[in-house]
Amino acid sequence: MKIAYIDAFSGIAGDMTVAALIDAGADAQVLFAGLDSLGTGARFKAEKTKRKGISATKFDIEFEDQKKHRHLPHIVKMIEAAALPERARQNAIKVFETLAAAEASIHGTTIEKVHFHEVGAIDSICDIVGACLGFELLGVEALHASPVNTGSGTVEADHGVMPVPTPATALLLKGIPAYARGPETELTTPTGAAILAAIGQGFGPMPPMVIERSGFGAGTKDFPMMANVVRVLIGEATGAREATRIAVIEASIDDTTPEVLGYAMERLLEAGALDVTLQPVMMKKQRAATVVQVLANLEDRERLADLLFAETTTFGLRIWDAERRVQGRRHVEVQTPYGAVRIKVASNGAASPEFEDCRKLALQTGTPLKEILAAATAAYRSTLA
């Protein structure tokens, strides 16, 4: 699968995304032709520039827009009438629907009635359509992104001075890891946030991939302390999960029951924890206790920490980042006298039967679990002979 990874260390905007995709090899003339078919009369330009010594592409739009406030149905009709690949068309519509839902929620209206203000301007329409078309030109099937730098301070908007991130951006980034670092200015715009919210499929460290292309898209401002660029990496997913960054969440608990800890363990696993372990320890004053340790994806850290507080009696947690290395794996199904069992095979050749498959057959047939495990292992080994 071809994937794109957006590194939003200096935020993300629609024009920066288009520029990064052109910098990574998307054909600018083909992309401009697709934007021309929107019928806006805008003119497009992509030129090389530098931000803090990094060579990047800057995407600019020249236009005369007499109607800044557009409704969603009007924008959708523009996109449907344009000469665009179907997936790019559907992704662009999805981005605008996501943006409309955020704006409608903020203003207390429906997505059909919401005014898009700056986002309904021609440049923002071309930015969003251009980004979706750029992904398509590079063959991208899945979009992933880093945690997003939102910026800080305030920004001038149609509704006056607003804090950064603006209400629309903050709502669009719900569930996406974000932080503020660098100059007090808006680094992530509603268009950039909407692209990630609508078509992003994963957020956190770069997924395992063979990098084939990379590109930098420049923002308008040139900051003295950091490069105002967004980076995109394009490549093939490897399927392996090696050297990923995870969060370790830990608490030592000496005032609860095993039943409560067991329930908490179940809840944490159901909520997406990679693993949960319970370890007996002795604490100060010779108090017997249990260390609850949770392994979590970085984007799930805060949610699982809150759940650990809610489901246990602990008053404090220890949290740190760690590196998790997991071998690539595949599944092979084998037939045993008791039924089919999946075998998990690691990239180094190590193999083991899936416990839940064996457990299910043991309960169904009344056969001891250890016999089914042995039969499954023998069946797999026979396929290697």
- At residue 306, the 3 state secondary structure works out as helix
Q: Are 354 and 379 in contact (CB under 8 A)?
A: no
Return the pLDDT at 16.
98
Q: Are 10 and 182 in contact (CB under 8 A)?
A: yes
How many other C-beta atoms are found inside a 10 Å radius of the C-beta of residue 53?
Answer: 6
Dihedral (CA of 81, 86, 89, 94) sign: positive
Beta-bridged to residue 143, according to DSSP, are 4, 200
First to last CA, the chain: 32
What are the extents of the domains in the chain? 2-239, 243-325, 329-384
Domain 243-325, CATH class in plain words: alpha beta
Domains 243-325 and 329-384 fall in the same CATH topology: no
Helix (H) or strand (E) holding 252: strand 241-253
| Closest residue by Cα to residue 106 from 94, 116, 96, 120 | 116
343 to 18, 329, 359: CA distances (angstroms): 44, 10, 13
Return the pLDDT at 204.
84
Return the pLDDT at 194.
96
pLDDT, tens digit only, all 385 positions of the chain: 899 999 999 999 999 999 999 999 999 999 999 999 999 999 999 999 999 999 999 999 998 765 556 788 889 999 999 999 999 999 999 999 999 999 888 878 888 777 665 455 888 899 999 999 999 999 999 999 999 999 999 988 777 788 999 999 999 999 899 999 999 999 999 999 999 999 999 888 888 889 999 999 999 999 999 999 999 999 998 755 555 778 999 999 999 999 999 999 999 999 999 999 999 999 998 999 999 999 998 889 999 999 999 999 999 999 998 878 777 778 899 999 999 999 999 877 889 999 999 999 999 999 999 999 999 999 999 999 7
Distance CA 131, CA 95 (A): 10
CA dihedral 84, 89, 95, 99 (to 10 degrees): 90
The length of the chain, given as a count of residues: 385
Return the pLDDT at 3.
95
Domain 329-384, CATH class in plain words: alpha beta
Residue 63 one-letter amino acid: F
Helix (H) or strand (E) holding 292: strand 287-297
Return the pLDDT at 241.
53
Distance CA 154, CA 163 (A): 4
Distance CA 196, CA 132 (A): 11
Return the pLDDT at 69.
67
Return the pLDDT at 113.
72
Return the pLDDT at 366.
95
Helix (H) or strand (E) holding 96: helix 86-107
